[in-house]
Amino acid sequence: MAKPVRLSLDVLILDEDIQPREKLSNALISRYATLYREDFPPPPLKVFQEGKKFWLAGGYHREKAARQAGRSEIEVELEVGSKRDAILYACWANKHGRPLTSADKRRTVTWLVADSEWGHWSNVEIARHCGVAHSFVAKVRRSLDSGQSDEGPRTYRTKHGTTATMDVSHSAVQLKEG
When pLDDT is averaged across residues 100-113 and rounded to a whole number, the result is: 93
Segments making up each domain of the chain, as ranges? 1-97
Q: What is the pTM of this model?
A: 0.78
| CB of 24 closer than 8 Å to CB of 59 | no
Query: Confidence band (pLDDT; 50, 70, 90) for 37?
Result: very high
CATH of 1-97, picked from 3.40.50.720, 1.20.1050.10, 3.90.1530.10, 3.30.9.30, is 3.90.1530.10
User: Sign of the CA dihedral 82, 87, 93, 97?
Assistant: positive
When pLDDT is averaged across residues 87-99 and rounded to a whole number, the result is: 83
Decide the pairing of beta strands 53-58 and 45-50. Answer: antiparallel
